[in-house]
Structure 1
Amino acid sequence: MNKIQLGTSDLSVSEVALGCMRMDKLDGKEAAGVINAAYESGVNFYDHADIYGGGESEKRFAQALKQTSIKRDDIILQSKAGIRSGYYDFSKEHLTSSVDGILDRLDTDYIDVLLLHRPDALVEPEEVAEAFDTLHSSGKVRQFGVSNHSPYQIELLKKYVKQDLIANQLQLSVMHTGMIDAGVQVNTKQKESIDHDRAILDYCRLNDITVQPWSPVHGPDGVFLNHPDYSEVNETLKSLADKYDSDHEALAIAWLLRHPAKMQVILGTMNEKRIRNYASASGITLSREDWYTVYKAAGNPLP
């Protein structure tokens, strides 16, 4: 498994990570099997959020980890906070109390990375800064970042926050390419030229913020792999599989990893076989021509 540096931090992380959103659906033995499958595939990074499974996913992870031989110091734990029932909350009180809950459920003294989960329209960046200072100085959180944030939302935070923001978790897949489309379609009249994401991909690259694609095998209507509505992109991936001594499912992850932004892909599956297969995408480097072939097969025109 290839490793990348996470943002400006000193963390060396696997370029494929395991997202644990659905872990609450597993029993202890199944969860331990999933954690082991990821770790044995070279994954050292596990992504959580305080709302996943109402907190049960973090609990199940902690319980299952004890059934493995993996030590806490062998892995990197990331969690997210800021979403409450029906609204968002970046207040100091909520963020600090959320982290206490995260630590309790994960049964750990610290988390390596905390992300602000979704933008709070009522954000008071001074309070975020106070929360981060408290969490960092206490040793409860070592690094910070954001999720689903735009460039100017990040700039507003950076005006007050002392710590580097090292990651931005964003939806991106072969079938969800808005942050790529706008750049390709600059100065055209195509609908794809509309920049819904405010050049967030280029912004993150300019500011050494690692992009973490979530839902990497999802399109507008769920998983696109092997879905009859997405036959062209699936057939294209299949046609390239032999060339890269792989299969079309792994190539969907390799397509993301080929981007020079050095992204860290967050897997969402709880299937051990798929975890191992997706993780095998690390080390596959699509040619420039093949990357564009897949991009076009996904329905993206070139000007």
Structure 2
Amino acid sequence: MSHRALPLNTHFTDIGPLVYGCMALGGDWGGGPLTEADIAQAHAAVEAALDIGVKLFDHADIYRRGKAEAVFGELLKRNPGLRARVRLQSKCGIRFADDVNVGRFDLSAAYIEDSVNGILQRLGVEQIDILLLHRPDALMEPAEVAHAFTRLKAAGKVAHLGVSNMHAGQMGWLQTALSEPLVVNQLELSLAKLDAIDAGTAFNDPQAATRPGAIGWAGTLEYAQRHGVQLQAWGSLAQGRFNDPASSAAAQVVHETAEAHRTTPNAVLLAWLLRHPAGIQPVIGSGNAERIRACADATRIQLSREEWYRLYVTARGERLP
């Protein structure tokens, strides 16, 4: 089986199977200015990602409270040739709590458009390739979102629209108002976060009651495959949960599989996602250049069905129904 890039109907056939998530760039989450150390760390991480073939760089306006985008913008300014080598994706829709308001989600047209203007300013570019709606807004009106996207695309600020953390029903509801297809859905998925896959394998079985997190994702992977929506997996390295082979039975299997393929545990974690027929793109979120490079073999190794299921069943901690 070959590793698929973005579906053909999105016009992103040259991106490749891996994404770099920039949340770890830009220093701390405070409001202070960027430092040279922040810029050096970002440079090392981006170069490591480029070295392993990454072309799509994923941002969000909230990452480091804007500093992740700002530090990437500084890299683009210092290296004018970098923009031609990368595709840029960013997200909006999460608003932090302040002295007056609680933390909330906001997919109103005005907020989407204001957010994109801020994203472009911090990155120092005229257009981003993909805008993702970061979280489902309970007050979302699809026609309002469509209006904002139409205005942004007409102005040359955004090329394509996608979502993040939305299930099949939410994608379908939003799509009814859009004249163009959603191109991406980014959700948490890894050997440590199996809800989207369990939604299918534990369906119509008593296990469904013991895995309540899976219920809401029913049909999401199938919807994406049917409609050509590229699935991206954030948290794909499971926050280091499988680094120590002695920490769990699943971690032991990850390391045994890595040894069998003469590769790293990180590469196995990503290869497990890549093996799925939905063509999932793992998002590498580490800010450590060495750890990023440890993912390089993910696209080289091909897990067998038996290896894939051994990893899955061991990680879920319960036999399949």
User: Structure 1 or 2: larger strand share?
Assistant: 1
The answer to whether the 8 A contact 1:2-1:283 is kept is: no
TM-score (norm 1): 0.94
Say if 2:29 is the partner of 1:9.
Answer: no
Choose from 49, 55, 78 the match for 2:89.
78
Which residue of 2 is the match for residue 216 of structure 1?
236
- Counterpart residue number, 1:55: 66
Give the drift of 1:68: 4.4
Q: Deviations over 1:219-278 (max 9, x none)?
A: xxx531225784211111111223212122211111111111111111110111111111
What does residue 24 of structure 2 align with?
Answer: 22
Percent identity over paired residues? 38
Cα distance between partner residues in 1 of 2:77 and 2:117? 20
> For 1:224-239, what aligned pairs fall within 5 Å after superposition?
224-227=241-244, 230-239=247-256
Residue of structure 1 aligned with 2:176, choices 159, 167, 178: 159
8 Å CA contact retained: 1:24, 1:57: yes
Partner of 2:32: none
Task: Give runs of aligned pairs for residues 223-302 of structure 1, distance below 5 A.
Answer: 223-227=240-244, 230-298=247-315, 299-302=317-320
1:73 deviation in Å? 1.9
> SS where residue 186 of structure 2 aligns?
strand
The answer to whether the Cα contact below 8 Å between 2:261 and 2:301 also exists between their aligned partners in 1 is yes
Aligned with residue 152 of structure 2, among 97, 121, 135: 135
In structure 1, C-alpha distance between the alignment counterparts of 2:256 and 2:190, rounded to whole Å: 19
Query: Which runs of structure 2 are paired with 1:94-113 in the superposition (5 Å)?
Result: 94-113=111-130
Q: Which moved more, 1:137-146 or 1:150-159?
A: 150-159
Letter in 2 for 1:64: L
Structure 1: distance between partners of 2:124 and 2:275 = 36
Compute the displacement of 1:14 (Å). Answer: 2.2
Whole-angstrom CA distance in 2 between matches of 1:3 and 1:258: 10
Say whether the 8 Å CA contact 1:59–1:105 is kept in structure 2.
yes
| Structure 1 SS opposite 2:271 | helix
Unmatched runs of 5 consecutive residues or more in structure 1: none
The TM-score, its normalising length taken from structure 2, stands at: 0.88
Q: Quote how far apart the aligned CAs of 1:66 are.
A: 3.7
Amino acid at match of 2:146: A
> What is the CA deviation profile of residues 161-197 of structure 1, one whole-angstrom value per residue up to 9, with x for unaligned ones?
1121010000000111011112112221112485231
1:64 to 75, 87, 98: 75
CA RMSD of aligned residues (A): 1.9
Deviates most, 191-200 or 24-33: 191-200
Q: Which amino acid aligns with 1:8?
A: N
Is contact 1:110–1:139 with CA below 8 Å preserved after alignment? yes
Kept in 2, the 8 Å contact 1:238–1:248? The answer is yes
